[in-house]
Amino acid sequence: MKTHLIILSILGFTLCGCKTTSPKPQHFPVVVQDNAEEQKFDISMQNTTAKAVCISVENWPNNIGELHYAADILYIEIASDTYPIFDSNLGYCPKGCGTHKIEAGETLKGNIPYKLFAIPEHQKTSKKKLHFTPAAFKCRNR
């Protein structure tokens, strides 16, 4: 009995040490258009590869421009000041919340309203630069 337990323990430790791999993220340039009249940024990301890529829905703005906890990857620069997007908790999906599939040559579009940043009133008309580097991955076959 002890021998079986020892063998199972060794097997368990061996399996825990196995290397697991995740898909390598690919970063595509995000084209940003500052739409001051509508108080938002229009954004797009084109897949420049020969195969489809996917981006999780948590890493791209939803229909009202929010992203799930994105203050670390999305912010506005105005002069020498930076304003991260407000973090939003968009919920938890046990099996993931899905992906946007971007076929070769296609473009994913979205927008992010100014109101999702703590921009002081006196800087709302200033020149703004949006910093956003979402990661896309090779789509998994399902």
Tokens linked to 109? 């579009």
Phi/psi at 15 (5° precision): -65, -35
Look up the CATH number of domain 23-138: 2.60.40.2970
Enclosing H/E stretch for 9: helix 2-16
Paired with 117 in beta bridges are 85
Instruction: Report whether 43 contacts 61 (CB < 8 A).
Output: yes
pLDDT for 75-95, tens place per residue? 999 999 999 999 887 778 887
Q: What is the mean pLDDT of residues 107-130?
A: 94
pLDDT for 43-59, tens place per residue? 999 999 999 999 988 88
Instruction: Report whether 70 contacts 110 (CB < 8 A).
Output: no
Q: Global pTM? A: 0.76
pLDDT for 15-38, tens place per residue? 444 444 455 777 788 999 999 999
The answer on pLDDT for 41 being more than 60 is yes
Strand 107-113 with 40-46, pairing: antiparallel
